[in-house]
Amino acid sequence: MDYRSHFLVDPAKPLRLSEIDPNDTGEHDKRSKAEKETEEYRLQMEANQFLLYADGRQSLLVVLQALDAAGKDGVIRHVFKAMNPQGTRVHGFKQPTPQEAAHDFLWRAHHYVPADGEVVIFNRSHYEDVLVVRVHELVPKEVWSQRYDMINDFERLLTQNGTKILKFFLHISPEEQLERFKDRLDDPQRHWKISESDYSERTYWSQYTEAYQDALMKTSTPYAPWYVIPANRKWFRNLAISQIIANTLKDMGLELPPTRVDIDDIKLKYHAAVQAANGNNGENGDKREKDKDGNGKNGKNGGKG
């Protein structure tokens, strides 16, 4: 099953998250089989990231959005371990700093977008400015309601500059979220992850759902599509996302760049270097031999001293 078409948000159709089952596992019913497939996609991602980096003409931006405990960190840990750290960055979007807040809302996002050849993951993103900001009325409606068009323009600009954009909404149920909060409470190793806001934000579930539905419909474009990933099952979430990324990279037409040097000429240089090295080694070898049996030292240094 091609999850790129299956989970794509079609902007022409009304999106109702309540009609998408967070327990869905597509055509995969076995975790072990899914994990094996995920590993294959990870290998493909690794090979293609190498090409993306070498090619240096395009880049990839992955946006992860979700409510608390839906698995953004887990996706980064499990899916993106395929990527070579050389050429990959993650940026987490927190409450804007005073400096960020003093600029337009896209300013900080623009700063962190991938350079040519890079993969960048946004852990939360510029979408917070039409999500948390809307739900908590941090700016008036006249302000946030204009941001969808601005986001589309911004993402078109990035696309036309060679950045492929993929956006994932990790869809969990409120029951699953509560389960995960319990897991965190039961595990002292994860207490550091707990915040009071997890519980207060949870009471805004329906407002967030509405804000997400709007954002996803208004900004799922052919050049920067949104995918709603059923995420109650972590193994399925990892599989679907890695499949979509692997297939997207495959379609980017990545290739090794043309050789920048005359290989025949470089071969001559190489042989000359080998010859020089052998010559030197021979000399050094002689010297070392002499040093070993005392002749070199006595002959040369002795004379100096």
Binding region for Mg ion (CB under 5 A): 68
Is residue 168 near ligand AMP by the rule CB under 6 A? no
- Least distance between Mg ion and beta carbon 67 (Å): 9
> Which of ligand AMP, Mg ion, none does residue 26 bind (CB under 5 to 8 Å by kind)?
none
Q: Are 4 and 247 in contact (CB under 8 A)?
A: yes
Query: SS3 helix, strand, coil % of the chain, rounded to 5?
Result: 60, 10, 30
Residues in the chain: 305
Stretch that binds ligand AMP, among 17-25, 90-98, 174-182, 240-248 (CB under 6 A): 90-98
| Both tokens assigned to 176 | 């699953």
DSSP string, 287-304: HHHHHHTTHHIIIIIHHH
- Contact yes or no for 7/240 (Cβ under 8 A): yes
Q: Note whether 129 binds ligand AMP by CB under 6 A.
A: yes
CB under 5 to 8 A by kind: which of ligand AMP, Mg ion, none does 133 bind? ligand AMP
The CB-of-139 to Mg ion minimum distance in angstroms stands at 21
| Bridge-based pairing state of the strands 119-123 and 226-230 | unpaired
Helix (H) / strand (E) containing 141: helix 141-144
In the bound complex, what is the minimum distance in angstroms from residue 94's beta carbon to ligand AMP? 4
CB of 178 to ligand AMP, least distance (A): 17
We find the least distance from the C-beta atom of residue 78 to ligand AMP, in angstroms, to be 18
> Which of 24, 118, 128, 155 contacts ligand AMP by CB under 6 A?
128
Using alpha carbons, list the distances in angstroms from residue 259 to 44, 225, 262, 263, 271: 24, 34, 8, 8, 19
Chosen residue from 94, 141, 260, 304 binding ligand AMP by CB under 6 A: 94
Q: Which does 129 bind (CB under 5 to 8 A by kind): ligand AMP, Mg ion, none?
A: ligand AMP
Residue 45 DSSP symbol = H
Q: What is the contact surface with ligand AMP in residues (CB under 6 A)? A: 92-96, 124, 128-129, 132-133, 197
